[in-house]
Amino acid sequence: ASLEVVQRMLFYGMQLNLVLAFFNLIPIPPLDGSHVFYHLLPPGWGLRYRQFYALGMLPLFLILWLAPGLLTPFLWPVRALLQVGLTLVGGYALPGTQATL
């Protein structure tokens, strides 16, 4: 029984880390993805984009509140990685679960 608990903790820990990693890459200030996006933009656009940094977390909160489904495509890689992981172990990593999400 204790092995099942450890397996579930590892699975949910992995899932949480993947969600947070991909969420942090969303190109909205002050998340890390905004810094990456800034360096990918042409210089003139980057300076205009940098002005949004002054707003802090407000744009992120507004997007999450007004259009929560808008960020769903950014989290698709999390689901894909979890699906691959579950498929590789054949659904046996967590007793009583199937290999699908």
* Residue-wise pLDDT tens digits, 19-65: 888 888 888 888 898 889 889 999 888 888 888 888 888 887 888 88
Distance of alpha carbon 67 from its chain centroid, rounded?
16
Question: Residue 67 is encoded by which pair of tokens?
Answer: 């259009």
Residue labelled with tokens 């991909």: 22
**pTM score over 0.75:** no
Q: How far apart are CA 33 and CA 30, in angstroms?
A: 8
